[in-house]
């Protein structure tokens, strides 16, 4: 008896609690592996973080205010979380909890009629692949509509009108297009509650007015631009009024997508794991069918496929419809109905769930590689107060600051203080991998940009008013080039480059940054040869390339322009001589003819060590230019 009582009262909440914990773990793990982005998780994190600091809805990603992009005052309710944990991960926790509330009204409604079946409804819910897919999407404000609409469904079915109006009012503050869901509640009341038809008409009318005023007046005034999200439903019109009036004139246009095979597949993906039960709830289909048809008609592929975060508000409506279907039938039908639901849920889980055990589970997505571990250490070095630009895959971890930008979307005339890039990252949005590498070479070439960290493909740059290098020349290859100075850095035991101040260590990589100025316009292409040479003329390491890692042909180099030219010299693990000289030569690429001085210059002498040097140990640099008095070694890599 006690076990039965616990099953009826405690099993459902326990199952839901376990699911929430697991969902949070998986979401946080994906975040830890850089699978969340500055758009969209970082975007919302910055908005809420700014709001928690008194800068209401401010954002540098889509200025001037977030409310011009989406009217979501309800986000202010999350500001207290950022007082306690100012981190984007807080939103992943909120997301998992908010989506889990979608089952609460259905659970309560079914428990009132069949208490023993209610926990099984929760079990089917936590197995649902649509829930899992939505949970693993990045946080969007529309997910906050799930608990508000869940409460509205419960109030609607228990005929608590004041609670219904309050919950729908709260839902309207989540996002401007939630008005469509509120209108669907009005449609339900209009059709299914004859004595409350006036209230239904009022809900529909107020929702339409709310949507029209927000998208036509308020939001354009806040952003000095027309409302831009109408394109999702562009097939019905180019503005919200056009969409509304177009649907009012011809509502049957919503049925057109049903003739498509892709639409049938999308509907089966959603209703299949639900055993089709939402279709059987008398009248409750009015809460979700119109919205679903509108989604299916969308020109956005992810929306018309009924996938992604857009589905979040539909979850409480679908599951409440299932509960009403089961609660309104006799026990001899309710038992096989819940059994069929469990079978369908389990089959859907095995076929389509991205959670462990599901057909679309990707274990690699949750594995933290050494590159990712290094990335977290690199990001930890970035001061919290600086303005910053980063690619999408890193940005969500850095978004809680006033000035945050998606690389390369910022004003080049006023760049942020720091830029972080990942040459080996998979999420390069909005650039391609090739574009990221080109951008990386460009920033390495800019002399006014300091490389403050480089490790395993991660680069952290800091903008400076003017080039600043420790070792100064000049060394001149008249009449074409002048080497103004250079910087040295070397990998430490972790592979991170550290500034000069240590002696060369066997097995490490030496980074040589040369600061060149073009004295005149060059007609030919020249290569830069950077070398480490032993006392007997032995070539120990060499790097030959066009300037800027091969990115700049000297024939396209404007006279007077200064660049930074980076070379990497790999030191052998064994056999290093007692002394090394760092030399630079310049030669014509096509003919390998050396520029005068043909013997090049010695920039400095180094005393290598065969193991890690103690912190603070340094070498003595030769500051004056010295001509190399010997023949060019045979090894050349033009």
The H-or-E segment that residue 32 falls in is helix 12-32
* Cβ-contact 576, 511 below 8 angstroms: no
pLDDT digits (tens, 9 = 90+) for 409-443: 999 889 999 999 999 988 899 999 999 999 999 99
Widest Cα–Cα separation across the chain: 104
Half-sphere exposure of 58 (CA within 13 A, CB side): 13
Cis bond before residue 474 (omega within 30° of 0): yes
Residues 6+ apart with CB under 8 A from 257: 263, 293, 296, 297, 304
Question: Would you tell me how many other CB atoms lie within 10 Å of the CB of residue 621?
Answer: 15
User: In the prediction, which pLDDT does 485 show?
Assistant: 93
User: In the prediction, which pLDDT does 89 show?
Assistant: 97
Distance of CA 96 to the CA centre of its chain: 18
User: In the prediction, which pLDDT does 501 show?
Assistant: 57
Tokens representing 368? 């933290």
Question: Would you tell me how many other CB atoms lie within 10 Å of the CB of residue 635?
Answer: 10
| Cα 458 to Cα 418: distance, rounded to the nearest angstrom | 13
Strands (E) across 418-552 are located at: 418-422, 449-455, 458-463, 471-477, 481-491, 497-499, 509-518, 526-533, 539-545
- So where are the chain's domains? 2-36+88-364, 370-463, 471-627
| Cα 39 to Cα 19: distance, rounded to the nearest angstrom | 26
**C-alpha radius of gyration, the chain, whole number:** 32
CA nearest neighbour of 113 among 232, 262, 8, 231: 8
* CA dihedral for 61, 66, 72, 76, sign (positive or negative): positive
CA distances from 294 to 31, 163, 168, 302 (A): 32, 28, 20, 13
| Cα 419 to Cα 390: distance, rounded to the nearest angstrom | 6
Query: Beta strands 388-390 and 404-406: pairing type?
Result: parallel
Residues 6+ apart with CB under 8 A from 513: 451, 469, 486, 487, 488, 489, 564, 565, 566, 567
111 CB burial (10 A radius; 0-12, 13-18, 19+): buried
Q: What is the CATH number of domain 471-627?
A: 2.70.50.60
- What angle (nearest 5°) sits at the alpha carbon of residue 416, between those of residues 413 and 418? 135
CA distances from 272 to 67, 139, 276, 316 (A): 37, 26, 6, 17
Strands (E) across 361-437 are located at: 388-390, 404-406, 418-422
User: In the prediction, which pLDDT does 635 show?
Assistant: 35
Q: Which residues pair with 518 in a beta bridge?
A: 481
The three-state secondary structure class of 346 is: helix
User: In the prediction, which pLDDT does 620 show?
Assistant: 35
**Interior/surface letters 445-482, b for 16+ CB within 10 angstroms, e for the rest:** bbbebbbebbbbebbbbbbeeebebebebebbbeebbb
User: In the prediction, which pLDDT does 636 show?
Assistant: 33
User: In the prediction, which pLDDT does 246 show?
Assistant: 73
User: In the prediction, which pLDDT does 502 show?
Assistant: 55
162 CB burial (10 A radius; 0-12, 13-18, 19+): exposed
* Cβ-contact 200, 187 below 8 angstroms: yes
User: In the prediction, which pLDDT does 282 show?
Assistant: 86
Half-sphere exposure of 590 (CA within 13 A, CB side): 6
With both helix axes pointing from N to C terminus, report the angle between 145-157 and 104-113 in degrees, rounded to the nearest 10: 30
The three-state secondary structure class of 553 is: coil
| Cα 503 to Cα 359: distance, rounded to the nearest angstrom | 54
Task: Quickly tell me which residue has 């250490």 as its tokens.
Answer: 377
User: Which segments in the chain show pLDDT lower than 70?
Assistant: 231, 233-238, 254, 257, 500-502, 610-638
């Amino acid at each position: 008896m006690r076990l039965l009582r616990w099953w009826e009262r405690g099993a459902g909440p326990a199952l839901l609690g376990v699911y929430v914990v697991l969902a949070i773990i998986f979401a946080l793990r994906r975040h830890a592996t850089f699978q969340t982005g500055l758009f969209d998780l970082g975007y919302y994190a910055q908005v809420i973080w700014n709001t928690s600091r008194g800068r209401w809805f401010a954002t540098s990603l889509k200025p001037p205010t977030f409310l011009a992009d989406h009217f979501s005052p309800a986000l202010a309710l999350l500001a207290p979380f950022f007082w306690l944990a100012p981190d984007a991960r807080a939103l992943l926790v909120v997301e998992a909890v908010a989506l889990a509330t979608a089952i609460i009204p259905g659970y309560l409604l079914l428990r009132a009629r069949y208490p023993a079946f209610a926990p099984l409804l929760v079990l089917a819910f936590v197995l649902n692949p649509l829930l899992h897919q939505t949970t693993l999407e990045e946080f969007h404000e529309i997910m906050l509509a799930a608990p508000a609409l869940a409460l509205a469904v419960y109030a609607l079915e228990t005929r608590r009108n004041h609670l219904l109006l309050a919950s729908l009012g709260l839902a309207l503050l989540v996002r401007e297009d939630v008005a469509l869901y509120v209108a669907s509640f009005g449609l339900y009341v209009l059709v299914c509650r004859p004595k409350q038809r006036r209230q239904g008409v009022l809900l529909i009318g107020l929702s339409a007015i709310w949507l029209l005023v927000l998208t036509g007046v308020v939001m354009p005034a806040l952003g000095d631009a027309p409302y831009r999200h109408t394109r999702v439903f562009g097939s019905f019109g180019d503005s919200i009024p056009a969409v509304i009036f177009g649907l009012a004139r011809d509502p049957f246009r919503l049925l057109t997508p049903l003739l498509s095979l892709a639409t049938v597949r999308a509907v089966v993906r959603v209703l299949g794991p639900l055993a089709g039960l939402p279709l059987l709830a008398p009248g409750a289909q009015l809460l979700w069918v119109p919205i679903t048809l509108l989604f299916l008609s969308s020109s956005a592929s992810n929306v018309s496929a009924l996938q992604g975060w857009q589905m979040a508000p539909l979850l409480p409506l679908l599951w409440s419809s299932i509960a009403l279907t089961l609660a309104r039938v006799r026990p001899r039908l309710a038992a096989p109905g819940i059994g069929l639901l469990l079978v369908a849920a389990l089959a859907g889980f095995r076929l389509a769930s991205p959670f462990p055990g599901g057909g679309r589970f990707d274990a690699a997505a949750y594995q933290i590689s050494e590159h990712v571990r290094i990335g977290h250490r690199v990001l930890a070095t970035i001061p919290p107060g600086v303005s910053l630009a980063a690619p999408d895959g890193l940005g969500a971890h850095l978004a809680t600051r006033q000035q945050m930008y998606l690389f390369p979307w910022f004003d080049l005339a006023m760049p942020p203080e720091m830029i972080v890039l990942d040459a080996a990252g998979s999420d390069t949005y909005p650039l391609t991998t090739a574009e990221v590498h080109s951008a990386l070479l460009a920033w390495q070439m800019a002399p006014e940009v300091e490389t403050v960290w480089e490790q395993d493909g991660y680069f952290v740059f800091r903008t400076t008013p003017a080039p600043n290098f420790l070792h100064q020349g000049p060394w001149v290859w008249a009449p074409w080039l002048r080497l103004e100075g250079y910087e040295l850095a070397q990998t430490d035991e972790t592979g991170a480059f550290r500034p000069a101040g240590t002696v060369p260590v066997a097995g490490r990589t030496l980074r040589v940054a040369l600061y060149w100025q073009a004295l005149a316009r060059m007609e030919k292409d020249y290569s830069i040869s950077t070398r480490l040479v032993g006392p007997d003329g032995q070539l120990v390491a060499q790097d030959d390339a066009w300037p800027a890692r091969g990115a700049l042909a000297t024939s396209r180099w404007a006279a007077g322009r200064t660049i930074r030219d980076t070379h990497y010299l790999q030191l052998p693990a064994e056999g290093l001589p007692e002394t090394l000289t760092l030399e630079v030569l310049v030669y014509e690429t096509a003919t390998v003819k050396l520029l005068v001085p043909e013997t090049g210059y010695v920039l400095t002498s180094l005393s290598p060590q065969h193991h890690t040097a103690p912190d603070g140990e340094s070498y003595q640099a030769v500051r004056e230019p010295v001509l190399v008095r010997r023949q060019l070694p045979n090894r050349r890599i033009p």
